Structure 1
């Protein structure tokens, strides 16, 4: 099947997002990640599991029901279709999902510790609350998908989750916004770990989120 005209723009944006993630230094040594972008209420684009050197023609089109509609996915990539699909079903305004094994963020996932919101970029890029932890389940399994669903229900304003003993999952209105948040979360996790060595990180003062939003509004 040939690529339909409406998918090439989003596929190119996914490739650009991958380039930005590597350039930002937030990827794991293996380069493992998967990115998706919503096409409509029934389909989204999805990358293979290892995205270093990704080309647009390697991006597949899949249905929310798990079927590969265009392109090919290895079995290891097909496992995660449900992980992305559950976010799109739960959050109709989400346009992109990124899953990485970003090292510092994954440290919090391995420790089963929510990542606090204590750095200003998190306030600016849509994560003004701790990043919650999803209970562990085999990747893409019913257990994992149910756990993601429960956390999204219990934390209706979060734009990211930590997958216990696994990694990070971020979602946003588009791939550019999701890349910004992945980067902000990894930087924040690094800062939290570094601050622990000098007495620990400190919470924002009351009203910090409103102050940041007001500052952003003045230059919008």
Structure 2
């Protein structure tokens, strides 16, 4: 592929089962959610993370950032962490639900986690986006293998009505890790978020922006929960909260 301005639409060769407009819409969703993560300061110092969305009009196809997320990104340029690659197909990868790369070139780090994203969509066909971060305070709970209690109202506002469970650790990118995450989602059908034991945070969402908002709420909950420990820890919400619909739909 010849070099193009990073904000231009990719030139598809006709073999892909999707169009340039659909890919552009997915790229915009990815960029919007990534911008929210950095704007909320919930990314780790390493900037490690990955975001995927269902390709519009194709429930069986996912768009994923191809490189590492090292900084906030303008909507037209998702290329980061892949030095020397200057063509627009280097910013987004499209994969199917078998984990097969149909378009683009993932960095080695992203290639290792594609099956993790695919596994969530296959387990939770209702979700439209998945975000993985190493948000520092949420990751503290993951390292301790302690579920994050849903006692912060903002979690309920963004649809996380239950404690954020922990998926037991398994080597990154392996079938064991994918199975551990899928099993945790199956055992906790009400959860959007899952803490990855000894690793980080994974959040599914009804959209990329919803997932990004929930990552932020989970990180805030982790900060405040730890901060409340000298005062006796986070207090339980009243039982009747289960009968309330506090979810805000943006």
Distance 1:145 1:31 in 2: 22
Which deviates more, 48-57 or 65-74? 48-57
Contact 2:66/2:104, CA 8 A, preserved across alignment: no
Gaps of 5+ in 2: 2-10, 13-19, 79-87
In structure 2, the residue matched to 1:59 is 92
Structure 1 segment 77-88 matched on structure 2, within 5 A: 77-88=110-121
Larger helix proportion, structure 1 or 2? 1
Q: CA RMSD in A?
A: 1.8
SS of match in other structure, 1:169: strand
**TM-score normalised by the chain length of structure 1:** 0.93
Contact 2:36/2:213, CA 8 A, preserved across alignment: no
Structure 1 segment 57-136 matched on structure 2, within 5 A: 57=88, 58-136=91-169
In structure 1, the residue matched to 2:28 is 12
SS of match in other structure, 2:231: coil
CA shift at 1:147, angstroms? 0.6
SS of match in other structure, 2:94: strand
Describe the superposition over 1:90-109 as per-residue Cα deviations: whole angstroms up to 9, x where unpaired. 11111000000000000000
CA shift at 1:124, angstroms? 1.1
Gaps of 5+ in 1: none
Distance 1:184 1:216 in 2: 13
In structure 2, the residue matched to 1:195 is 228
CA shift at 1:184, angstroms? 0.5
In structure 2, the residue matched to 1:151 is 184
CA shift at 1:209, angstroms? 4.0
Instruction: From the superposition, tell whether residues 207 and 143 of structure 1 become closer, same or farther in structure 2 (CA, over 3 Å).
Output: same
Computing the radius of gyration from Cα coordinates, the structure with the larger value is: 2
SS of match in other structure, 2:68: coil
Does 2:81 match 1:48?
no
Contact 1:123/1:209, CA 8 A, preserved across alignment: no
Distance 1:145 1:16 in 2: 27
**TM-score normalised by the chain length of structure 2:** 0.82
Distance 2:31 2:117 in 1: 18
Distance 1:6 1:49 in 2: 20
Distance 1:65 1:126 in 2: 28
Instruction: From the superposition, tell whether residues 119 and 93 of structure 1 become closer, same or farther in structure 2 (CA, over 3 Å).
Output: same
